[in-house]
Structure formats: C-alpha cells, structure tokens
Copies of this chain bind each other. A is one copy, B any other.
Amino acid sequence: MGLDRDFAAALAEVVGPDHVRQSPGDLAVYARDATPLFHHPPDAVVFPATTDQVSRVLQLATAYRVPVVPRGSGSNLCAATVPLRGGIILALTRMTQILEVSSEELLARVQPGVTTARLADAAAARNLLYAPDPGSRTTATVGGNIATCAGGLRGLKYGVTRNYVLGLEAVLPTGEVVRTGGRLWKDVAGYDLTRLLTGSEGTLAVITEATVALLPAPAESNTGVAYFESLADASRAVGAIISSGIVPATLEFLDRKCVAVVEEYAGLGLRLDAGALLLFGEDGPLEVVAGNMVRMRKICAESGALEVTVAADVARAEALLTARRCSLPALSRLGSLTILEDVTVPRPRMPEMVGRIDEIAERFDLQIATFGHAGDGNLHPTCVLDPDDEAAVERAHKAFAEVFRTAIRLDGTITGEHGVGAAKLPFLAERLGSAQLGLLRRIKSAFDPAGVLNPGKLGS
C-alpha cells in the first residue's frame, strides 16, 4: 500500500515533514487502540497542530479519497480508532491547550488533545468540577471522550459527556469548519449538531475545539461499602435507595468473582464470602453527604446486607473506590487477553442480566466476571482468556453475541459508554432495527458523502 507520493508531500507541506510519520514502528503502534483482537496499520500518522491544518488535511484526503481516522489517545474499547482500511490516522495529540476556564460562566474551552484528567484538574484548581469521569480519564482525551460520549462512575447523578458539551468546533470532510452551539445553556437555533457529533466516533467530522460545562465542586464526599448475599439483594438495595429520593454520586457493584480478584490484587481487606459488593457514595454539602450516607447505610442494612461500613475518612473512601477502579487491571492479570464488555439494561433488570451472563459463561466454559455501575444499569462483563487458545476466543465471541442479544431482549443496549466502533457494528442492526440503521447511513452521507472519515465504523 503506502500513500500516494503527491498526497504525502502535500500532507508534509501542511503539517511539516516531522509530523507525517510512516515508519514501520509508528504504523505498528497506530494499528491498534485499546481494543483487543482488532488491528490494521494506517499508511501514515499525521499530527496537525491547528484547526486550519486539520481543515487542509481533510481537504487533501477528500481530494485523494484517502480514509482519515481521527484519534486522541486511542484508549477506546470498541476499535473505534483502528484504521481498518488504512489511510491516515489523524492524531490530535498535539492540540493540547486549555484555552479558558471560567468560574463565572462555569465553562472551559479546550483543544481536543487535552486529557480528561488535565481538564478536571484545571477545573478543580478553581474549585470547579468537570463531571464526566470515564475510567480512562488519565489517558483519554476530551476529544475522544466527546467522540465516544464517554460515561463513567457518576452517570446517574451527573449524566455523561453529552450533558456537558456546550459547543464544538469541528471540521467537515470538505475542510469546512463549523461551530455548533457555543457558550450557552440554552440555544435551539437549528438541529442539535452538538449532540449529534457527540458520540459520532469520528465518522462525521473532526472535533478541533470543545466548550464544556463545569459545576461548582462539591464541598464533601464519602463512600461506603455493603456486602450482600447475592446481586439480587444488592440490586434491591439500589432500588430502595433511589425510590427513597436519593440520587447518589456513586453506586457501583462487583460480583463475587471480581471481589476475589481485586482483593488478591490490591489487598484492600474486602470480604470474600459475599455474592456482591456494593459501593455507595455521595457528594455535595457536608450535611447532605452525612445525611444521605446514614440513610443509604440504613437502607442497605434493611435490604439484607451482610455488612455495611461507611468510610471513616477520606483515605478509606479512596481505598473503597480503588476497589472499583482496579477491577479491570486486577482481572487483566488472570489472562493475557481481557475482553471488557459494556452492556446496559434498565436498573431493575440488572440481576437477571448478570444471572444470564453467568449462565452463558458457564455454558461456553469461560471466565467472565462482572462489575459495573449499579445506578445506571451499565454492566462490564469481563472475560479473561489466553489469546493463543483459538477455540476459547471463538467461544468468547459467541458468548458475547449472546450477552448482547440478552441485553437487547431486556430493553437494554449493546454499549452504554464505550461506543460501537468496529467491535459492536455487527450487532447494531439488532439494537436499532433497519429503519434506524438506514437513517444512520443517510446521516453519515449528509456529513461525509465520499466516506473518507473513519470508514467501516458507525454509519457504514
């Protein structure tokens, strides 16, 4: 393959020769993102520094009909940034300026390559909160978070990335620059392109700047842990908490298998004889946090918890959240291939869904442990296996296909927060139906008639 020489020369003229990389090493690195089992090398990796450079690169790519895959840190888990058809990776990792943080307007304006954690830190320095907190926050970029509409641990109380994007600057495949939304909480002038681009996975336009909403930082926070005999019991407690009028900042669960693995990994002193561990947390004014923690502790106890503890101090609260945050690395140690999935079901269907996952795992002879966001029904069944065991990999594919279908049958979805990418595309028709899939394709054409942006992904 390789790039057309004129095209490569033109790219080098736009971004500078140092910022067009075609070495075998670079191509190998950018052949993959964080998704296992998917890889295909690009023909080049291009690093623009400005919106104008992005625009000129896209004009060239459209003229030469070369696929362009926009990419931040590549931490996505759905193969959204694997360049399946070659072409160029458009890496936005040089566009890393935080352009503005405003306490009075409660917003920040950033370039796409800023990591989510850096944005959150810049907000925190002014006593503000950037609420979306995906697990990958220290690595992932804001541009990537917007492209995948990333979620996180605070979805029920705070919502997901889409709830915080006020405005976008984005470049169309023609090179035209559009500015959607702006610095406004209320703006209904035109179709909601801001939200349409959020979650569009680099298939419609390239995001070059984002204006995001911030909140005043909560004064206090705390976390507690409750152990239950079964996930059904834990789920009943979650239902009772929410029905009681509390929308907690944190409601996370680990199943028995996860607890065992996390405890072995991190030695947090977790109890190993329970069927499910539930983390519950609240943030806000001191009196609200204190009151809600007491109420949640009581509800857990009344719902049959084997044991409930509220963290006595910040260090212990952090340790408890660590249990949840280290589920993935802890599980990853069990096998050299970790498939982390991301189905969501309505909250009351969660125990049924996890039960079905366990049954599927057993039937396909696989190790699948499940953790996730009990507040919003977002489950991460995680399968660890040996990638050289081809039969097992094949079984895992079949098992997850059943998991996705089960989620759909329970009024759920095939991806709550990770995205569709190449990994979930084969299941999208089952979730959306053919009429809706047709709309997606026509919307894709409305933005990208030549199909140069991230081909073979969403909208294909």
Contacts and interface: CB of A to CB of B under 8 A. Distances in A.
A31 B417 CA distance: 45
Given A188-B148, A188-B417, A246-B216, A442 B433 contact: no
A309 interface: no
Contacts of A459: 191
Interface string A389-430: 000000000000000000000011111111110001000100
A202 to B, nearest CB: 12
Given A162-B192, A446-B443, A184 B413 contact: yes
A54 to B, nearest CB: 14
A392 B377 CA distance: 58
A239 interface: yes
A185 B172 contact: no
Interface stretch (A59-67, A99-107, A261-269, A296-304): A99-107
A260 interface: no
A458 B190 contact: yes
Contacts of A7: none
Contacts of A138: none
Interface stretch (A19-27, A81-89, A343-351): A343-351
A10 B442 CA distance: 30
A424 B189 CA distance: 8
B186 A416 contact: yes
B435 A104 contact: no
Contacts of A189: 413-415, 420, 424, 428, 431-432
A440 to B, nearest CB: 5
A104 B458 CA distance: 33
Contacts of A196: 191-192, 195-196, 443
A106 B245 CA distance: 10
A450 interface: no
A190 B155 contact: no
A413 to B, nearest CB: 4
A284 to B, nearest CB: 8
Taking the full assembly, how many copies of this chain does it contain?
2
Contact of A185 (B103, B156, B186, B190): B156
B348 A187 contact: no
Contact of A439 (B188, B193, B195): B193
Interface string A170-197: 0010101111101111111111110110
A436 interface: yes
B184 A346 contact: yes
A323 to B, nearest CB: 21
A6 B422 CA distance: 48
A376 B428 contact: no
A377 B182 contact: no
Nearest to A186: B416
Given A191-B196, A216-B245, A431-B190, A185 B288 contact: no
B104 A183 contact: no
Contacts of A217: 245
B415 A188 contact: yes
Contacts of A216: 245-247
Contacts of A417: 186, 188
A2 interface: no
A450 B169 CA distance: 31
Given A159-B185, A285-B288, A190 B104 contact: no
Interface string A329-359: 0000000000000001111100000000000
A57 interface: no
Nearest to A219: B245
Contact of A105 (B199, B347, B443): B347
Contacts of A440: 190-191, 193
A186 B151 contact: yes
Contact of A104 (B105, B242, B344): B242
A377 B443 contact: no
B188 A199 contact: yes
A31 to B, nearest CB: 24
A322 interface: no
Contacts of A245: 127, 216-217
Most buried by B among A156, A163, A188, A246: A188
Given A190-B440, A192-B192, A193-B440, 6 more contacts: A104-B348, A179-B436, A184-B344, A186-B378, A190-B436, A216-B245
